[in-house]
């Protein structure tokens, strides 16, 4: 199949893993909302070419179309799912505003270092369809972009999916008609004819910060929803219960014939393996359990592991898990998915390092890691969004989750700016190490301190591309 097609991406995940060129630029969503700035959020272009004189620096800033937009997650207009279509190209980076519902589209081909804003779809377009709080973006092979939504027109919980044309970005329609209590992320495997979506919570609850009582009040989700991809029909719901509160990022193995994947449950500190049996019934099994730590001086009597992101390496060998609250970034060998084997760990900030008033109570608990200091700056947050190089050797880490939660959990991050950190990966033996030569400090940005969230590469990455 190699060489026969001229669409975007690669013929297979292993071709990407073995032949892709090293990334030279990163596109990183940056928000100034945590610091209360009236400036616009922006897409930062970061130079990651070690031979460049501007290595580890922001070399471009492409601002959102409105100062009201809080940029959050992103996705491409076309990816490896369009590999066989020579008429498609990875030209546009689609950046919804999680708060206003507007969709900002940047043209990365016009100027890769300073992509101009090509179009802003106003939030009224989604509101007219009874949808709000857009989140995950995936490209489809149908010349559409699919975006998950988390709220109705009033900001109450209602999950769904909308389709935009991948060139004009006009509203095309809804994907499916299932009524979902909550929305968040989704991943589809067209060769196996399924999609799985996850749940965060009610926008009217989470937009003001994290209130633990909202969990008891049922304002956060605990379920995964399985769809038949070809018919858009919901076929099963998996309720993860108290062990699976806030199931956020869903990642399946990249090999398109696979039916196995993982979901990280933020409030419960657990990772579940998802799989389909021979009868076509789906099951979820807890395979990683990160225990909470008894503490004083915090909003809860225990500090949980807020698992806010995870991803799978392009060769399907390693699973990476970010624990935003405890400051842990973990690497697991998932050659045997039901028995993940911890092979690497680094500490990047965390609540215990950022807030001296929070104390560990039990002597049996492991001592907190020391603060991470890079280029004379203490990293004030924790590992949040992560992106792995296609060859699996470099892991880029950002520290911001969502402005309202940043202000609450890491007030110094919101006030003084976030960071982009590079972690080197030992592919052969397993293992992680912070690369101290690389550090992007966002505390002195032109419009004031900014915080970084999702990361993309111009050529696609481990969380953007899906194969048919």
* Reported pTM: 0.97
- SS3 at position 227: strand
**Bridge partners of 366?**
none
Which pLDDT does position 132 carry in this prediction?
98
Angle at 378 between CA 377 and CA 380, to 5 degrees: 125
Rounded Cα distance between 468 and 140, Å, is 10
Distances (CA, A) of 380 to 34, 285, 454: 13, 34, 18
Which pLDDT does position 110 carry in this prediction?
98
CB 163 within 8 A of CB 138: no
Handedness of CA 50, 55, 58, 59 (dihedral sign): negative
* Backbone dihedral angles phi then psi of residue 408, each to the nearest 5 degrees: -85, -45
pLDDT tens for each residue of the chain, 468 residues long = 444 568 999 999 999 999 999 999 999 999 999 888 899 999 999 999 999 999 999 999 999 999 999 999 999 999 999 999 999 999 999 999 999 999 999 999 999 999 999 999 999 999 999 999 999 999 999 999 999 999 999 999 999 999 999 999 999 999 999 989 999 999 999 999 999 999 999 999 999 999 999 999 999 999 999 999 999 999 999 999 999 999 999 999 999 999 999 999 999 999 999 999 999 999 999 999 999 999 999 999 999 999 999 999 999 999 999 999 999 999 999 999 999 999 999 999 999 999 999 999 977 677 788 899 999 999 999 999 999 999 999 999 999 999 999 999 999 998 889 999 999 999 999 999 999 999 999 999 999 999 999 999 999 999 999 999
Which pLDDT does position 362 carry in this prediction?
78
Q: Which residues of 325-358 are buried (b: 16+ CB within 10 A; e: fewer)?
A: bbbbbbbbbbeebeebeebbebbbbbbbbbbeeb
Rounded Cα distance between 442 and 12, Å, is 36
Query: Taking the C-alpha atoms of 95, 100, 101 and 103 in order, what is their torsion angle to the nearest 10 degrees?
Result: -30
Q: Pairing state of beta strands 270-276 and 261-265?
A: antiparallel
Which pLDDT does position 47 carry in this prediction?
98
């Amino acid at each position: 199949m190699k060489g026969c097609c001229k669409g975007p991406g690669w013929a297979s995940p292993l071709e990407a893993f073995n032949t892709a060129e090293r990334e030279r630029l990163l596109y990183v969503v940056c928000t100034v909302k945590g610091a209360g700035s009236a400036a616009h959020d922006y897409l930062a272009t970061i130079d990651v070419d070690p031979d460049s004189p501007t290595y580890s620096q922001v070399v471009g800033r492409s601002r959102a179309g409105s100062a009201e937009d809080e940029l959050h997650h992103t996705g491409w207009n076309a990816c490896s799912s369009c590999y066989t279509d020579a008429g498609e190209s990875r030209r546009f980076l689609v950046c919804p505003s999680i708060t206003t519902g507007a969709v900002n589209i940047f043209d990365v081909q016009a100027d890769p270092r300073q992509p101009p804003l090509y179009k802003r779809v106003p939030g009224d377009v989604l509101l007219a369809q009874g949808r709000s709080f857009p989140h995950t973006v995936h490209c489809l092979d149908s010349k559409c972009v699919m975006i998950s939504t988390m709220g109705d027109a009033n900001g109450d919980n209602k999950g769904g999916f909308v389709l935009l044309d991948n060139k004009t970005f006009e509203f095309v329609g809804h994907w499916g008609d299932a009524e979902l209590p909550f929305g968040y992320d989704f991943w589809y495997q067209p060769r196996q004819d399924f999609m799985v979506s996850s749940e965060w919570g009610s926008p009217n609850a989470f937009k003001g910060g994290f209130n633990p009582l909202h969990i008891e009040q049922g304002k956060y989700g605990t379920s995964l929803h399985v769809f038949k991809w070809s018919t858009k029909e919901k076929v099963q719901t998996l309720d993860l219960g108290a062990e699976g509160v806030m199931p956020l990022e869903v990642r399946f193995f990249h090999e398109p014939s696979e039916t196995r994947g993982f979901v990280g449950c933020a409030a419960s500190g657990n990772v579940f393996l998802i799989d389909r049996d021979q009868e076509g019934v789906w099951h979820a099994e807890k395979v990683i359990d990160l225990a909470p730590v008894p503490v004083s001086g915090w909003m809860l009597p225990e500090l949980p592991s807020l698992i806010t992101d995870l991803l799978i390496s392009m060769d399907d060998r390693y699973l990476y898990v970010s624990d935003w609250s405890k400051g842990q970034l973990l690497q697991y060998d998932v050659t045997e998915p039901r028995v993940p084997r911890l092979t690497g760990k680094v500490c990047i900030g965390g609540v215990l390092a950022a807030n001296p008033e929070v104390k560990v109570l039990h002597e049996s608990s492991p001592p907190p890691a020391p603060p991470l200091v890079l280029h004379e700056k203490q990293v004030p947050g924790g590992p949040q969004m992560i992106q792995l190089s296609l060859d699996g050797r470099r892991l880029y880490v950002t520290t911001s989750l969502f402005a309202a939660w940043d202000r609450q959990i890491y007030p110094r991050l919101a006030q003084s700016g976030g960071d982009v950190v590079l972690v080197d990966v030992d592919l052969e033996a397993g293992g992680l190490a912070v690369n101290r030569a690389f550090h992007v400090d966002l505390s002195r940005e032109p419009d004031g301190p900014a915080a970084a969230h999702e990361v993309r590469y111009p050529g696609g990455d481990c969380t953007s591309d899906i194969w048919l």
